[in-house]
Amino acid sequence: MAAAQRLTYTIEAYNVSHASENKIHDDSVAKKLGFSGGLVPGVEVFAYASHLPLERWGRAFLERGEMTARFGKPVYDGRIATATAVEGTDGRLEIRVESEGVECATATACLPSVSSPSPRLSDYAYKAPPDLSARPPADEASLAVGLDLSTVPAVLDRERHETYLRDVREANPIYAQEGIAHPGILLRLCNSALRENVVLPPWIHVGSTMRHLSLARVGETLAARTRVVANYDKKGHRLVDLDCLLLAGERPVAHVLHTAIYRLRHLAS
């Protein structure tokens, strides 16, 4: 790609989580918190942005590429979102996602010349999530630094994957043709590590760094093993950072640092 050449991708955003347990995606609740409506999940904004490095580098990006994204302003259901990318002299893509003239997210992506070493599976303990009815509330104790949070392993079936591709309006045919798990599907495992282990009030995913390690495919059993690495206050919000190893069976497929506001200052007691 020539220097300063722009890649552009335009999507009609869709709130795939409008009926989820996280009421930040519910129109009425989000409006009470000062938003214009239910927020399109950050995972799906990440998915929109990931289209551009895939366009730039192809399949190799899904095998060993890296992307860091931060979400600043909401993307709303039914609105047009446009992702643009410019390649710098260092080979990195600088990506912006805008909607209705507002910058909603920024990201950087790169393709290392060789794959980075995978974290050791033995460093990530599996701890079965509690029954949903037994989950503790999200707080400084239930999300204390050093705690392990895992997801229940689940098979990625074709119907679920095809539905996701439609929901995020993914235009690249590689996912359907080769049965490769979309990065958004993988990143959703990090949200699941929170949701399956604690009860959350309306909460917001604010950023992730994903490093691809290998391809995950339809038909494989996917899971996350995560560790809480930080729990802190920022501008009155309470945030948590998770170190997440994502697996297909016992094979690492991605390594993610995942950040979420688990207690909004609007809801602080």
Q: What is the pLDDT of residues 110-131, one digit of tens each?
A: 999 888 789 999 999 999 999 9
The pLDDT of residue 145: 98
Please check the confidence at residue 15 and state whether its pLDDT lies above 90: no
* Residue 126 pLDDT: 95
Which comes out higher in pLDDT, residue 30 or 170?
Answer: 170
**Gap between the Cα atoms of 200 and 11, Å rounded:** 29
Q: Read off the pTM.
A: 0.91
Tokens matching residue 134: 């037994």
- Residue 194 makes CB contacts below 8 A (sequence gap 6+) with 138, 149, 200, 203, 240, 242, 260, 262
| Model confidence at 65: pLDDT above 80 | yes
Banded pLDDT at 238 (limits 50, 70, 90): very high
The predicted pLDDT at position 116 comes to 77
Q: Are 106 and 72 contacting, i.e. CB atoms less than 8 angstroms apart?
A: yes
- Token pair 């990318």: residue: 85
Strand partners, 89: none
The yes-or-no verdict on residue 21 having pLDDT over 90 is no
Checking if the pLDDT of 29 tops 70, the result is no
Domains belonging to the chain, first-starting first, are 6-267 (3.10.129.10)
pLDDT digits (tens, 9 = 90+) for 80-120: 999 999 999 899 999 999 999 999 999 999 999 888 789 99
Bridge-based pairing state of the strands 66-71 and 102-110: antiparallel
Residues 1/87, Cβ–Cβ less than 8 Å: yes
